[in-house]
Amino acid sequence: MKITYHGHSVIAIQLADGTNLLFDPFITGNPLTDLVVEDVKTDYILVTHGHSDHVGDMIPIAKKCDATIIGMVELCAFAEKNGVKKTHGMNIGGKFDFPFGRVKMVHAQHSSGYEVDGQMLYLGEPAGFILQAEGKTIYLAGDTSNFGDMALFGEAFAIDVAFLPIGDNFTMGPNEAASAAKRLRAKQVVPIHYNTFPLIKQDPQAFATLLPAGVAKVMAVGESFTL
């Protein structure tokens, strides 16, 4: 599989059969991303929670690409009410075998709401995803603090890559993310959700020094690697 980082928490995964997955597609208004909504091609859109910097452009992309949105049931219901034809609602602790692989939805400690016409809508609990495909396991934590149950994820899964937020203020910061990485026992850890806004300014290289040599993988926007 080919994994590409597109700034903030936007991750794209292309599988060997050509299936494309897109996580937390915050493109419009994202000062760091290299993507343009009109050029995006994807088959599935996985959204961790209802904040605007994660929901992003899921609705126009889903409509344009005829893609399936995977997320919390309330978030999927919101997408359907806004004209998305294909969704797959999940909830914390559940898993499902999709044509491309298995997705398990796991707990995240955060909040989840989306503002429409001045009203804050509840879009379900925040979550993370554990993706198993092509013999690899990827953990996308979403927005979260460091919490003890991450140790259970590390025990239950041999995690090849974990994407962890390090921005602080809204999520865990570098020190807490380093603690989470140890709980997860991931072979590689990619920092995300930083430097998009002044409140989440961080030095990812400094974060890398908190982990054993070779574990942290700091990715430039637009950079890809093959797993």
Is 211 strand, coil or helix? coil
How many domains in the chain? Answer: 1
pLDDT digits (tens, 9 = 90+) for 109-167: 999 999 999 999 999 999 999 999 999 999 999 999 999 999 999 999 999 999 999 99
At 210 the pLDDT is: 98
Task: Output the pLDDT for position 130.
Answer: 98
The pTM is what? 0.97
Of the candidates 16, 17, 15, 39, the residue with the CA atom closest to the CA atom of residue 6? 39
Structural domain containing residue 106: 2-226
Mean pLDDT over each residue of the chain, to the nearest integer: 98
pLDDT band at residue 43, thresholds of 50, 70 and 90?
very high
Q: Which alpha helices (H) appear in the chain, and where do they start and end?
A: 52-55, 58-65, 73-81, 150-156, 174-184, 204-208
Per the CB < 8 A criterion, the answer to whether 141 and 162 are in contact is: yes
Q: Indicate which CATH number applies to the domain containing 23.
A: 3.60.15.10
Angle (deg, nearest 10), helices 58-65 and 73-81 = 70
What is residue 208's predicted lDDT score, i.e. its pLDDT? 98
